Amino acid sequence: MRRLGIPNTRQFHGIASINEAQGLWERIQQENKKEVANADTFEEYEDSEGNVFNKKTYMDLKRQGLI
């Protein structure tokens, strides 16, 4: 596992072939990327009027000078 650059975690218990380990590692990395991408939608910002926006929308409006 170390030579493949894959951490030896509990998720890999019982996996014997290199192809299975690499496939599982790719799936785990893709799921982690999705979680990071969704982090912007969970963080909320409030403007001076009490309107609530997600982080991306708030930053876009602030850059445009609308808030």
Element (DSSP H or E) covering residue 58: helix 55-63
Instruction: Compute the distance between CA of residue 13 and CA of residue 11 in angstroms, rounded to an integer.
Output: 6
**29-43 pLDDT, tens digit each:** 998 887 766 665 678
Give the residue ranges of DSSP H helices in 2-54. Answer: 18-42
Model pLDDT, residue 63: 94
Instruction: Compute the distance between CA of residue 45 and CA of residue 67 in angstroms, rounded to an integer.
Output: 11
5 φψ region: left (φ > 0), alpha (ψ -120 to 50), beta (else): left
Model pLDDT, residue 37: 64
Model pLDDT, residue 62: 92
**10-67 pLDDT, tens digit each:** 888 888 899 999 999 999 999 888 776 666 567 889 998 999 998 889 999 999 999 8
